[in-house]
Structure 1
């Protein structure tokens, strides 16, 4: 078992307070679960029918097949396919709600505007739509119709969002393997059917179906959701704010937005601004909105809202005693929050029909009633402020300045200051000459099996020291923001000389007066599509397959099914994808070999599992070095 729970000083300061307050945390529950089931950890436990559960003896002395005859290889791959399909389902459901919101906004049925007409036109052109002489509402409805067509496709035509956005060389590979997705809902349904009792028993076929789910996630989940949200709320540009629990203010109403969908959190931010006077009348100096997980990333990028905590520290935010209300939407929300909130004055507010927690207050959210719901929630936070117990308040004095909001458009804009005609050329030139050795995307979660944030931070510290440009999303972005990798001081402290020179030159050319950060914050979990867009743009500029680029991905501390589906999509893009926590596949040597080696022969990418962050960094550097050699670039 790991010796330390976190490397975040704010978390380490609050854990003793949790013990004194008699509050159980995620770390306590993890210790109570020890030892965890070895069969489940290896992926050789099957519960897909009621003859079981069945489990395979990984040492070969006990059962070698389930009651139906399924081998360890089959059980492991069935379980993996279901997990990846679950992650894809979460992102596709998110995307569908964003499409629905754009439709209602375009029709004038809800109080949301179309904030980015330029992005709308860009997406419409990519879909082959005529944009001239059309108002933005009519054009938005045509884009919505195209999105709904993917979601209601009853034929064999591939998902249009994939066909117009993915690298052409990749599409050819996927087509040859028979994994181009059709209707995303149909593919997820088929995966559930394929993994029921009496169905597919071919591990290779199951792994290919898993790859198809990665594509469902990448284009009908991540890409579609990001596109819709950018049209509705605006494409992010760099903003300056702060990260970690020190952003909370003892003399203000503290309201946390937590989850993943900005449809409500954007309204919370708006009405918190409008209702400041009511907070002042209640005795506060105002209202401080802060973010947890990806709802935090969304409102950070567009509204400069500070980040309070990532996944593992969500309970600790309440344990500060200073949170008046935490409003949650979907995904990564610990059911324990209600019990933790009951020890303080905090109002925990659920909002979605598929996320209800006993002990929380449920305030139903609808698009039509979004403004009313947001006002109710903000006023509940103001009311809760009056119930505070000052003796229970302790806000750790830790926070870091961060520069965030690097959409692909923002990156291209910064590069345009160096070369207006070919903005990608400065980036490519510096990759070619070795000033930038390569690019690594870090994504995903915290996992209590690892010391909080350590794999993210130590991995990236080693990468940027070796002149690797890092882009980050999700809870990885939180971890790196808290550790000081998302400001110009981080460039001076951590970046290798080549990377530092490039970031300094771009920052100066863009008129910032300081270097760009060594880690570029690209958004929330669904915004991994921005990383895909950047990879696609680089591959297109160089006219090579994305699998040939000196680019890799890492989920340093994955815990959610979504992280596995995102990672699978990255592998289908041809990228070596590091996992810093061992996934439940080691019960099958053949499947492990297929995922970490054999896949690269047919799809270009592979998984790379390494729990030691320094060893992981060296493995990624070696992968980038190999790709540079194949391209004839200096190493």
Structure 2
């Protein structure tokens, strides 16, 4: 029974311990929810006004419209638009915090430095700002003003961040469809208005509005957040560390950072090093920081902090009995963590005003008090260590070496070892000759409906075996890291011969003495913009639309609204975007066909749903083969 829940041996071991310890986990709660509501699963339940909720009979024997006359097509399209707007709102809010942090840092009002001056000048150039003679902090404030202008744009002009960074061919397509976003907050507000009772009843118009939300997410969320964080904390470069729950240490203070925004987690990493003597004074060897979800990915990329686990196993980290403090910021945080922590010595700490959990300790975080908050949290972990019960500790002996930190700049630097004048040429040449048959980006979550990590791992093994280069972010990156797909040995074990030869050449050129991994860890969920930047750069180099490239995307185990908003952005970029879990749209045949077929005719990309990992890989390969044929490349 346990094997159906996860393929991760560490998680399997801790699920048994959880059962012994009487701990309820996400898998138990999923089973208690069965059977789940069929109307909700199909997306044909509407509760947008107080006359409902209304449900449409999918078999045609009962109600065919809601009380107001809304059809199943409209209900499904309206629900989808709200979900994608919700995902975009999460990323835009994240980006806004990063912009605010850069502003205060540039004004010397907070204790954050500007570590990524190269990125700052790169962004300033793209925005058309003069750079050579300007002071770093003055230039940072100019960049901040452009970002704030987008956030407060009251004109009909599109987002400047989008115009400066998106492919020109794509901008023309989006403009022709009338979906270029103006002010992200305005677009999200408009989506909420558009989906209230008595508003839009045209499913096609609602789907186009959904595409606009994808652009909001892509450029006012993902791209903006990544750019700001690179300016503040520096551009990631390759690092080597480990992944899985075996990274926890029985003889050290274990402090886990969990969530998505690195503004606090970066400070915690700093103060964990500074306060190590205090940990040694209570008998610990060190203060050991590990990460869960995208806060983990962020400090991995820049600081080499190991990954503990991804979304679905966050409770199991506490079940080890070895976690002294788990500190959370925003997004993908299970409220159940407080209950699990209460059964051990672990202290769960919330930090953000919009994330409070009964039973957790709340320590307010602001940019102004970041150092004080981080020190308080680290010292709480030291104090908790003294309360640890060794009889309750079981750390699985599961950890895998991983290489991460593949920003676009790091990839370009590696390619420049082969061709300094045209760094992209070796990559493009190997795509053209078929050594790299195509590129697939795998992103997103775990979903309890899927055996944990199985879809990510099995699909990607099939892709790399067929010489498809994979770039990964978010919880997908965690999954692939745990199973050996992010190290040189993974190239030897899993990559097809042609891909292996390319990765070996690149690895040796970069001075590694071994191949690059078959899956490139490109960061957190917002760092999907790095993949967008790479795709844009390749398209620009070739002089073609991104929709023409042999590139696809996949969310193998999506669970969050953010996965839908990221996927929608990928579709607007012209990419075929696979979903391994069926979204709640099947209650409308017309909306389903529009998303999976009709969009291709007007926007270039489409959603592709396949719940079998091997068939999903084969479908993506077939799509890439068709793109190659259209470009006249070898197939």
TM-score range, shorter chain: over 0.9
Kindly report which structure 2 residues correspond to 1:104-253, keeping only aligned pairs within 5 A, or say none: 104-253=104-253
Kept after mapping to 2: 8 A contact 1:436/1:498: yes
1:470 aligns with: 470
**Structure 1: how far apart are the matches of 2:370 and 2:329?**
13
1:437 aligns with 2:446: no
**Structure 1: how far apart are the matches of 2:68 and 2:271?**
57
**Structure 1: how far apart are the matches of 2:310 and 2:466?**
27
Kept after mapping to 2: 8 A contact 1:443/1:474: yes
1:559 aligns with: 559
Kept after mapping to 2: 8 A contact 1:2/1:451: no
Kindly report which structure 2 residues correspond to 1:299-448, keeping only aligned pairs within 5 A, or say none: 299-448=299-448
Q: Residue deviations 1:41-97, cap 9 Å, x none?
A: 000000100100001000111100000100000000000000000000000000000
Q: 1:134 offset after TM fit, Å? A: 1.1
**Structure 2: how far apart are the matches of 1:254 and 1:282?**
14
**Structure 2: how far apart are the matches of 1:239 and 1:448?**
31
Aligned with 1:450: secondary structure? coil
1:504 aligns with: 504
Q: Residue deviations 1:589-617, cap 9 Å, x none?
A: 11000000110010000000001000000
Aligned with 1:523: secondary structure? coil
After the TM superposition, list the runs of 4 or more consecutive aligned residues in structure 1 that deviate by more than 4 angstroms.
Answer: none
Q: 1:133 offset after TM fit, Å? A: 1.5
Structure 1 pair 35–2 and aligned structure 2 pair: CA distance change class (3 A) = farther
1:101 aligns with: 101
**Structure 2: how far apart are the matches of 1:256 and 1:628?**
44
Kept after mapping to 2: 8 A contact 1:2/1:450: no
Q: 1:384 offset after TM fit, Å? A: 0.3
**Structure 1: how far apart are the matches of 2:14 and 2:148?**
47
1:600 aligns with 2:603: no
Q: Residue deviations 1:249-302, cap 9 Å, x none?
A: 000000000000000000000000000000010111111000000000000010
**Structure 2: how far apart are the matches of 1:500 and 1:379?**
46
1:16 aligns with 2:3: no
**Structure 2: how far apart are the matches of 1:483 and 1:179?**
40
Q: Residue deviations 1:155-192, cap 9 Å, x none?
A: 10000000010000000000000000000000000000
Q: 1:460 offset after TM fit, Å? A: 0.2
TM-score of the aligned structures, taking structure 1 as reference length:
1.00
Aligned with 1:514: secondary structure? coil
Kept after mapping to 1: 8 A contact 2:439/2:551: yes
2:290 aligns with: 290
1:278 aligns with: 278
Kept after mapping to 2: 8 A contact 1:117/1:231: yes
**Structure 1: how far apart are the matches of 2:314 and 2:354?**
20
Structure 1 pair 3–16 and aligned structure 2 pair: CA distance change class (3 A) = closer
Aligned with 1:114: secondary structure? coil
Q: 1:416 offset after TM fit, Å? A: 0.3
Kept after mapping to 2: 8 A contact 1:2/1:449: no
Q: 1:116 offset after TM fit, Å? A: 1.0
**Structure 1: how far apart are the matches of 2:507 and 2:285?**
36
Kindly report which structure 2 residues correspond to 1:11-90, keeping only aligned pairs within 5 A, or say none: 11-90=11-90
Aligned with 2:112: secondary structure? coil
Unpaired runs of 5+ in structure 2?
Answer: none
Q: 1:5 offset after TM fit, Å? A: 0.2
Q: 1:3 offset after TM fit, Å? A: 6.5
Alignment length (residue pairs): 635
Q: How large is the Cα RMSD of the aligned pairs?
A: 0.7
Aligned with 1:280: secondary structure? helix
2:571 aligns with: 571
Kindly report which structure 2 residues correspond to 1:527-542, keeping only aligned pairs within 5 A, or say none: 527-542=527-542
Q: Residue deviations 1:99-125, cap 9 Å, x none?
A: 000000000000000001111000001
Q: 1:511 offset after TM fit, Å? A: 1.0
**Structure 1: how far apart are the matches of 2:3 and 2:415?**
44
**Structure 1: how far apart are the matches of 2:80 and 2:112?**
39
Q: 1:510 offset after TM fit, Å? A: 1.1
**Structure 2: how far apart are the matches of 1:285 and 1:512?**
31
Q: 1:215 offset after TM fit, Å? A: 0.1
Q: 1:2 offset after TM fit, Å? A: 10
Kept after mapping to 2: 8 A contact 1:174/1:180: yes
Unpaired runs of 5+ in structure 1?
Answer: none
**Structure 2: how far apart are the matches of 1:515 and 1:3?**
33
Aligned with 1:131: secondary structure? coil
Q: 1:40 offset after TM fit, Å? A: 0.2
**Structure 2: how far apart are the matches of 1:571 and 1:338?**
38
Q: Residue deviations 1:490-509, cap 9 Å, x none?
A: 00000000000000001111
Aligned with 1:569: secondary structure? helix
2:266 aligns with: 266
TM-score of the aligned structures, taking structure 2 as reference length:
1.00
Q: 1:532 offset after TM fit, Å? A: 0.3
Aligned with 2:288: secondary structure? strand
Kept after mapping to 2: 8 A contact 1:539/1:546: yes
